[in-house]
Amino acid sequence: MKKIIQTCLYIVTIVLSLNTAAAEEKTGDGHITAKASTMGFGIEYNYPVTSVLSIGIGVNKFSANKTLTKHNVHYNADVDFKSASIITNYHPFSNGFRLRAGTYYNDNKINLSADSSTGTLTIASTEFTNADIAINGELSFKKFSPYIGIGYGSEPIGDNTLSLDIDIGVMQSPIKVQLTGTCEANPTKELACHLFDPSLAKAKADLEEEAGKIKLYPIVSLGLSYRF
């Protein structure tokens, strides 16, 4: 009986010492990262599950106005990127190196528009000069997109307050193309507006062919993490 009690006390002592060491090792309840990436500007919170595993929840946003020329059509491109992510981080060597896998809710889109307000508009090699032309379209992406990547940054449990985070990965994100338009002939001049519909269809087919080549979207990010 005495040996059993001594053994139990020994086990309890070991467990208590391990818990004390873990408590001393862990500083806070995770870390938050502000980052800039190819998904835009974002923020991510990582919760430590174990000393080598954490789960991150993040949001990203970016907007800009650009010009885009595809197959002789000059588009005004309104870039509107919005996304959210859930990523699992695994640190196989118990240091900053990590393997990342998860999914993005991908609400990224690019709104396209073009018109003949400058006098002429070329669509699929056909030039329209004496008509009111308007084209509107959208490039959108798969809503739920799986992601894998690698990175280096904050460990799930550690004593560093600030750290630099770098991640490189890819997201599966095929592109969907929408393109519509209208053509109204100037009554004072002759114009074959009947050429507009097939020209628009050709422009859409060209965009779809080019977009179909893109299956993966690269995600590269650089950020600064703060541990609570």
In this predicted structure, what is the pLDDT of residue 197?
87
Convert the pLDDT of each residue in 143-153 to its tens digit: 999 999 999 99
Percent of the chain whose pLDDT exceeds 70: 83
For residue 67, give the amino acid letter: T
3-class DSSP state of 186: coil
106: which residues sit within 8 A by CB, 6+ positions away?
A: 83, 141, 142, 143, 144, 145, 171, 173
In this predicted structure, what is the pLDDT of residue 55?
96
Convert the pLDDT of each residue in 165-186 to its tens digit: 999 999 999 999 999 998 887 6
* Band of residue 86 on the pLDDT scale cut at 50, 70, 90: very high
Judge whether residue 20 has pLDDT over 60.
no
Q: How many CB atoms lie within 10 A of CB 123?
A: 24
CA distance 201 to 219: 32
Kindly provide the b/e burial profile for residues 190-219, where b requires at least 16 CB atoms within 10 angstroms of the residue's own CB.
ebebebbeebbeebbebbeeebeeeeebeb
More confident residue, 5 or 88: 88
Domain ranges of the chain: 28-227
- Mean pLDDT rounded to a whole number for the chain: 85
In this predicted structure, what is the pLDDT of residue 184?
80
Q: What is the mean pLDDT of residues 24-49?
A: 87
Q: What kind and span of H or E run contains 228?
A: none
In this predicted structure, what is the pLDDT of residue 187?
62
Q: What is the mean pLDDT of residues 184-211?
A: 80
In this predicted structure, what is the pLDDT of residue 11?
41
Q: What is the mean pLDDT of residues 192-205?
A: 86
CB 186 within 8 A of CB 131: yes
Alpha helices, DSSP H only, in the chain?
2-25, 196-211
CA distance 44 to 148: 16
Full-model pTM: 0.81
Percent of the chain whose pLDDT exceeds 90: 61
CATH for the stretch 28-227 = 2.40.160.170
CA distance 87 to 171: 12
CB 123 within 8 A of CB 135: yes
Q: What kind and span of H or E run contains 177?
A: strand 175-185
In this predicted structure, what is the pLDDT of residue 9?
43
Tokens 């002939």: give the residue: 185
